Structure 1
Amino acid sequence: MAATSHPLATLAAVDILRSGGNCVDAAIAAVALQSVMEPQMTGIGGDCFALLALDGREPVAINGSGPAPAALTAHALRDAGLTQIPPDSAHAVTVPGAIDTWCALVSKYGRFDMERILAPAIAAARDGFCVTPRVAYDWNKSRDRISHHAPCRTAFLPDGKAPLEGERFRQPALAETLQRIAMEGRDAFYAGDIAEEMVGVLRQAGGLHTLEDFESFSSFETEPITAPYKGYELMECPPNGQGLAALLIARILDGFAFSEMSEADRIHVLAEACKIGYAMRDAVICDPRSHPVDVEAILCDNTIARLRKQIDMGRATPAKPWEGPTHKDTVYLSVVDADGNAISLINSIFDSFGSGIYAPESGVLFQNRGSGFSLQEGHPNEVEGGKLPFHTIIPAMLMKHGKPVLSFGVMGGQYQAAGQAHFLSQLIDIGLDPQMANEAPRSFCFDGTLKLETTISEDVRADLDSRGHKTAWADEPIGGCQAIWIDRERGLLLGASDHRKDGIALGV
């Protein structure tokens, strides 16, 4: 089974599975196709994280996030008068980690070669694809980001307009680059003429990137981090991602009987837990090589008990304002193969259309993940050359007796940690199936406002207002989730794909 946010990406994954490929082959085929068909959300100029659980082996976390260029310093940016890294500047562009990650996963764990895996993406970029409804909506909303860099404007706003729903769009330069990667591997991207063009474009835009920054990059494997939730173990990638925040929120919620609570009570508790989890996240999560994070101390019983006591059921606590960028645009997918192997994978270019800086000859649109760095002196996430930035993108798995029972993730930037907790509570506590849990009304407390989807009742909103929450109706759908439940007793896979996106879950 495969679940992605684009129907053709799901179909590409299923085709790979039917042809004898495993979950890794299928996931990379799907995400590569999404990198063509959802350019506002993801691409080969972005980063990638994954959790991989192969039958009979210990699960692994794969970190495919790229560092800041070696020559970049916070001191120089502060001297230039900056208090934040502008999201549309070359300083926001970290080394893209996705391609190295894809190639490493396929080389170590896949069955097929990259030429076969990337074939659907190459064909879509070369021959064109029809723009789906949600992609068309996002594309049109992002015209300002696309417009500031002339090559990007030319590529993604033909005739000065965003493509309409159903229009065919081609990316021939990207097709050539994907073909080179399929034939030559990761070095086709990180060395040679493609890398030279990327570095040249970034330096022309004011960046400090070098060929050495690209050539020396390598994704790496780490041990996942876990925390208990209602008899299961929630598994996440360790920092520099916000998976630790998801675990902290889940641990706090683990002490509440959600099944016996009203909808207003559940939303209130989730909001209060998120305030605690996100405050911790913003204070400590960074590149662990520069500032190690004591995961055990944060998630220990004494800490969690103290934090739970801070939640007053009748009163909302003041929220700490967010001072960083809004981490928004991502694709998440899940694949489980016939042997019971599971992969939870997420790929992102950060903002919609990333930095808006585009290398026209290679068709690479650069992420702006570096805008997640801090310029506050002494902050753990303070920008430094060669350092990995704080990341919001977090694939997840739920484990039982050492085996995955749920491979899932929630897109939506800042919402991801809160979204995972909400999905689990609907699934485990309320007892909904994966699709119903996916479709349940969502709320998100962030930056001082508790946003509510309009499928939540006026009475619930009034109740939350009476507790001191500053509520507002969400002006667009909150997040996007894909999930596959592995029912080992019955030998079934139950897939879910968020109706807030264009995707679908399919099994064979």
Structure 2
Amino acid sequence: MPAEPAVPAAEAAEGRDAAARALAGEFGCQGRGPTVGTGGMAASSHPAVSRIGVDVLEAGGNAVDAALAMAAASWLALPGQCGIGGDAFVLLRRPDGTVTAFGGSGFGPDGGDPGFYRERGLDAVPLEGPLAVAVPGAVAALAALHADAASWGLPRLWEPAARMAERGLPCTYKTRDDVVERRAALSRDPGTAAVYLPGGAPPRVGAPLRQPELAATLRRVAADPASFYTGETAERAVSSLAGAGAPFSGGEWAATGEALVGDALTCAYQGVTVHQTPPPTPGWMMLQQALLNDGVLAGLPWLSAEAVHRAAGAARLAFADRFAGCGSENDHWKSLLTADAVAAARARLDAGDPPAPATPAVPVDGDTTSMVVVDGDGTAVSLIHSLAFTFGARVSVPGTGIVLNNRLGRGAYLIDGHPNEVRPRRRPLHTLNAWLVTGRDGALRHVGNTPGGDGQVQWNAQLLSHLLDHGLDPATAVAAPRFTVHPGSDADVIGQPPELRCESRLGRARLDALRALGHDVRVQGPWAAGGSAQIISVDADTGALLGASDPRQDGVALGVQ
């Protein structure tokens, strides 16, 4: 019997992509298409934040200017998810094609060695209160980004946020729900209680949340970002935390003021280049999953049980590798991305040998937000920032309006000898990461990110596959059903059994097939996985920008014509 003629690669890819687009209707992620723009675009998880970014672009600012204004605005619009007291990471792609990473991640207290916590009868760094706090790194990262590529002054860029704080941005359903769920903790801190529990009760939706102290802080820090780490603001923070029992000296604040600036991590996937943020972020984990799945997922039907099984195995392996030997100060992760290591890991996955789950589990709490901006000159910014858990440590710095993060409690281990063990002047491992994709010629193809704790590196890998393996548009990619391996590698909730959490839109047949492949499938609501992905893509034929914001939150992508 004669062999069937080979199908040309381009024709096969076209047929595969058409099948994926048709299947998107079954999954409920085909609806309004992506936003289109030609002169720039901004996408975030809150309409007011996206609007400010577009306002800056329309007034002649570049993508960096827009991102900096959006970041400050989101501290008011999404106060449970981010704040000036948190951390931030950024990827910047310049018009010449070069890509730089900016990291803002802080140290714990100089007196916070393992013995400090054990002497107090603790078996983990607390998740709430003064002992959970790491020095905020966001201001350092954003100031370094501003110095590198902004065209407007920081006071001008942060003034809209300062005015928002003075007059009060209307409370959203999201913020009210966050306040209701954390009411007890917020009520214990005078600063958070005054803003988020006026009169002792959660604010009504639409009620203005006025923060005059934060407005003054924004203007002071915009005028002199270094003052956040060595001036009056730092002194107030250190005094307050030390008075509450956290052993900060002030030296760790000054040290955090030096941002982490350098080259992005990269790998090849489907013939293009993926860029990611370096440690202490887990950006290398997304690259590892890409290397393990390159050429595999493209040959499987989109979101089939076999494809989900493969992607979940790669994610599980990445988390196990992270917990086994990674810390913010070592290069263990580099050995995991070598050709030999990737080949060995691919062989394990091909043979159906699932890795054991990491010991710590994905946290039951957490919040982050992110944004992407592209301007007409090809400058692109992917920015993500967070307080770690919702409202962070749920403590504020008196007289400043600053709510502090709980990144130390969330990220650092109290495990003897582990490279991520809590130590003075050791940054804890992070969940935040940001990515973008360039073509062989260095041209921008995609820029994106998503919040979601340990879900981030998994969902970002899924977004990458939707875009590159199956040729889907941003709107379909961000709305696609999500799946999440549990546990991940955050520091809390030890020893939970492995699960595969899937949105119900995957469908009963696929979920049953995943169970038959050995997964303990836990079905979530149709849109309940979490996250709030943002993507802007460049149409290869027209050069137009196509953008979308995740329907799981209230965001929007807005274009400039």
TM-score range with shorter-chain normalisation?
over 0.9
Query: Which one has the largest radius of gyration?
Result: 2
* Compared CA separation, residues 306 and 148, structure 1 to 2 (3 A): farther
CA deviations on 1:288-338 (whole Å, 9 max, x unpaired) are 3xx23351x311222112112222687866534425755731111111111
CA deviations on 1:46-104 (whole Å, 9 max, x unpaired) are 01111111112521111111112222211222232222111103222111111122222
CA deviations on 1:353-397 (whole Å, 9 max, x unpaired) are 000011231000000111111111111111111111101100111
Distance in 2 (alpha carbons) for counterparts of 1:403 and 1:460: 37
* Compared CA separation, residues 474 and 146, structure 1 to 2 (3 A): farther
Q: Which amino acid aligns with 1:440?
A: A
Query: For the Cα contact (< 8 Å) 2:317–2:354, is it kept in 1?
Result: no
CA deviations on 1:435-471 (whole Å, 9 max, x unpaired) are 1111011110112111111222122221112222111
Give how far 1:193 is off.
2.7
Structure 2 residue aligned with 1:361, among 377, 396, 399?
A: 399
1:142 and 2:194 equivalent?
no
1:9 and 2:49 equivalent?
yes
Distance in 1 (alpha carbons) for counterparts of 2:535 and 2:74: 17
Query: For the Cα contact (< 8 Å) 2:297–2:307, is it kept in 1?
Result: no
1:335 and 2:387 equivalent?
no
Query: For the Cα contact (< 8 Å) 1:275–1:319, is it kept in 2?
Result: yes
2:273 match: secondary structure: strand
CA deviations on 1:104-160 (whole Å, 9 max, x unpaired) are 221231110112100111111110111223333333223244234343233322233
* Compared CA separation, residues 496 and 377, structure 1 to 2 (3 A): same
* Compared CA separation, residues 147 and 309, structure 1 to 2 (3 A): farther
1:286 aligns with 327
CA deviations on 1:407-460 (whole Å, 9 max, x unpaired) are 110110110000111111112222210111110111101121111112221222
* Compared CA separation, residues 257 and 471, structure 1 to 2 (3 A): closer
Query: For the Cα contact (< 8 Å) 1:416–1:479, is it kept in 2?
Result: yes
2:208 aligns with 168
1:464 and 2:502 equivalent?
no
Structure 1 residue aligned with 2:550, among 468, 486, 498?
A: 498
Query: For the Cα contact (< 8 Å) 2:45–2:554, is it kept in 1?
Result: yes
Distance in 2 (alpha carbons) for counterparts of 1:317 and 1:338: 45
CA deviations on 1:2-54 (whole Å, 9 max, x unpaired) are 11111111110111111111111100100100011111000000011111111
1:250 and 2:290 equivalent?
yes
1:222 match: secondary structure: strand
1:483 and 2:523 equivalent?
no
Distance in 1 (alpha carbons) for counterparts of 2:201 and 2:327: 38
1:214 and 2:266 equivalent?
no
1:344 match: secondary structure: strand
Give how far 1:487 is off.
2.8
Query: For the Cα contact (< 8 Å) 1:27–1:334, is it kept in 2?
Result: yes
* Compared CA separation, residues 451 and 325, structure 1 to 2 (3 A): closer
Which moves more between the two structures, 102-111 or 245-254?
102-111
* Compared CA separation, residues 396 and 304, structure 1 to 2 (3 A): same
1:435 match: secondary structure: helix
Query: For the Cα contact (< 8 Å) 1:268–1:316, is it kept in 2?
Result: no
Normalised by the size of structure 2, how large is the TM-score? 0.86
* Compared CA separation, residues 264 and 162, structure 1 to 2 (3 A): farther
1:264 and 2:316 equivalent?
no
2:344 aligns with 306
Alignment of 1:86-125 (within 5 A): 86-125=126-165
Query: For the Cα contact (< 8 Å) 2:374–2:381, is it kept in 1?
Result: yes
Distance in 2 (alpha carbons) for counterparts of 1:376 and 1:209: 21
Give how far 1:220 is off.
2.5
Unaligned runs of 5+ in 2: 1-40, 488-497
Which moves more between the two structures, 39-48 or 144-153?
144-153
Query: For the Cα contact (< 8 Å) 2:439–2:445, is it kept in 1?
Result: yes
1:455 match: secondary structure: helix
CA deviations on 1:182-229 (whole Å, 9 max, x unpaired) are 3x3213322333222211221122111133332332112121111121
Supply the RMSD in Å over aligned alpha carbons: 2.0
1:68 aligns with 108
Distance in 2 (alpha carbons) for counterparts of 1:495 and 1:132: 24
Normalised by the size of structure 1, how large is the TM-score? 0.94
Query: For the Cα contact (< 8 Å) 1:315–1:467, is it kept in 2?
Result: no
2:434 aligns with 395
1:202 match: secondary structure: helix
Q: Which amino acid aligns with 2:552?
A: R
Which moves more between the two structures, 157-166 or 264-273?
157-166
Unaligned runs of 5+ in 1: none
* Compared CA separation, residues 17 and 245, structure 1 to 2 (3 A): same
1:39 and 2:79 equivalent?
yes
1:226 and 2:266 equivalent?
yes
Query: For the Cα contact (< 8 Å) 1:131–1:165, is it kept in 2?
Result: yes
Distance in 2 (alpha carbons) for counterparts of 1:422 and 1:327: 22
Aligned-pair identity in percent equals 33
Equivalent residues, number: 504
